[in-house]
Structure 1
């Protein structure tokens, strides 16, 4: 099964082609940022290098969140369009689960995270690709309390800006072996998205929405203006 996978969830842009769980080709461009401009040319280039077209793809996979609000929409919209027009499978994969796969096979609890500012993180904890602490929006102190409750003796922290709080983490987990990823170990790879997508269940392209893990400012503004309860995305429409 040929899988084209996309990650625009972070400032890094990555696309990959998998044959089931095997990565055939992958590009990762750190700090690309202009995903709406660069994504389609990267996909086209990858397919041309492999002598393929979009019609040859069996399944489209995308990092569905958490991550940059704009970035997630760019990647998901592209994948939804391809899957819907071509009648192919669409799979959404947790950004954090894909990030944790950078340390697949390690005998450790892997803690992937994206900085949400002010000592808050979008984070989870994974043991052999299985979520031990579910993806969520956590204050760092809350996340560390949950990690302390785990029986693991070794933790691997990766993603963005854990290094800023290294001393705090070491103080809270003083009796554990701690590893902080560095350099390319912190990059999100579309190939890992594809590997996970090979065994994941497809989703309906028309119903797929980003998994932000917290409400957007637009939702808070809507709630403040209307007084209405928070609702599904499709209900945030105002008649003018």
Structure 2
């Protein structure tokens, strides 16, 4: 199939396009300049794979949880493409996408994304089945939900960091990480095509990001209203 995907769950955005067996990807880890470079990056991967927008079968994006700025950028760019070229857009929860490569693992799979204030967005999966909705919590709170004798595979952008910090707090857990990819664009393609085969609906115009926690602006506004 012919498709475009954006992994925008973390500050390091990845943009990928595929034209059957040809693919191209570019990573944007350039801070606030991402907003300026995202559209040129989309144009680049499309040209490298010989695609134009009207030829796409679909596009896919991580919908959160993740960084507020990244999620807004990714969704806005692909929604504009949907409106201009009538391309279906499939939204995939970030933690689902990061857990996808390990759906056949025998361990409990723990995808994690760094949140602010030394906390992580997380969920649990066993054999590809999500056990609970996305939440954010500190390491100690997450560890309370784990059995020290059961193996756990931490994955996603913060998998390695989570394991390192856990070892500092409590080395008793059978916890390891495996993160060969720095983004989940390939998972987005695979999950979206599974959704298409199962005739699942793409995102609607009014669908937005999945926010587990409030933005700093919302927190500041609430504090002002209370004072």
TM value normalised by structure 2: 0.82
The secondary structure found in structure 2 opposite 1:92 is strand
Name the structure, 1 or 2, with higher relative contact order (CA <8 Å, separation 6+).
1
The alpha carbon displacement at 1:63 in A equals: 0.8
The alignment status of 1:166 with 2:167, answered yes or no, reads yes
The alpha carbon displacement at 1:54 in A equals: 0.6
> In structure 1, how many angstroms separate the alpha carbons of the residues matched to 2:152 and 2:6?
28
The counterpart of 1:25, out of the listed 23, 26, 44, is: 23
Which residue number corresponds to residue 191 of structure 1?
A: 186
> In structure 2, how many angstroms separate the alpha carbons of the residues matched to 1:42 and 1:194?
18
The alpha carbon displacement at 1:166 in A equals: 2.4
Which residue number corresponds to residue 148 of structure 1?
A: 147
- Pick closer, same or farther for the CA change 1:23–1:118 going to 2, 3 Å: farther
> In structure 2, how many angstroms separate the alpha carbons of the residues matched to 1:56 and 1:23?
15
Higher alpha-carbon deviation: 40-49 or 54-63: 40-49
TM value normalised by structure 1: 0.78
The alpha carbon displacement at 1:188 in A equals: 1.8
The alpha carbon displacement at 1:137 in A equals: 1.1
The alpha carbon displacement at 1:104 in A equals: 4.2
> In structure 1, how many angstroms separate the alpha carbons of the residues matched to 2:2 and 2:96?
21
Which residue number corresponds to residue 15 of structure 2?
A: 15
Higher alpha-carbon deviation: 188-197 or 61-70: 188-197
Which residue number corresponds to residue 95 of structure 2?
A: 96
Which residue number corresponds to residue 180 of structure 1?
A: 177
* Contact 2:91–2:203 under 8 Å retained in 1: no
The secondary structure found in structure 2 opposite 1:80 is helix
Which residue number corresponds to residue 86 of structure 1?
A: 85
Which residue number corresponds to residue 235 of structure 1?
A: none
> In structure 1, how many angstroms separate the alpha carbons of the residues matched to 2:132 and 2:146?
8
Which residue number corresponds to residue 67 of structure 1?
A: 66
The alpha carbon displacement at 1:77 in A equals: 0.3
- Pick closer, same or farther for the CA change 1:110–1:95 going to 2, 3 Å: same
The secondary structure found in structure 2 opposite 1:6 is strand
* Contact 2:17–2:25 under 8 Å retained in 1: no
- Pick closer, same or farther for the CA change 1:84–1:128 going to 2, 3 Å: farther
* Contact 1:14–1:26 under 8 Å retained in 2: no
The alpha carbon displacement at 1:133 in A equals: 3.1
Bigger fraction of residues in strand: 1
> In structure 1, how many angstroms separate the alpha carbons of the residues matched to 2:47 and 2:181?
28
The alpha carbon displacement at 1:139 in A equals: 2.4
> In structure 2, how many angstroms separate the alpha carbons of the residues matched to 1:180 and 1:70?
27
* Contact 2:60–2:89 under 8 Å retained in 1: yes
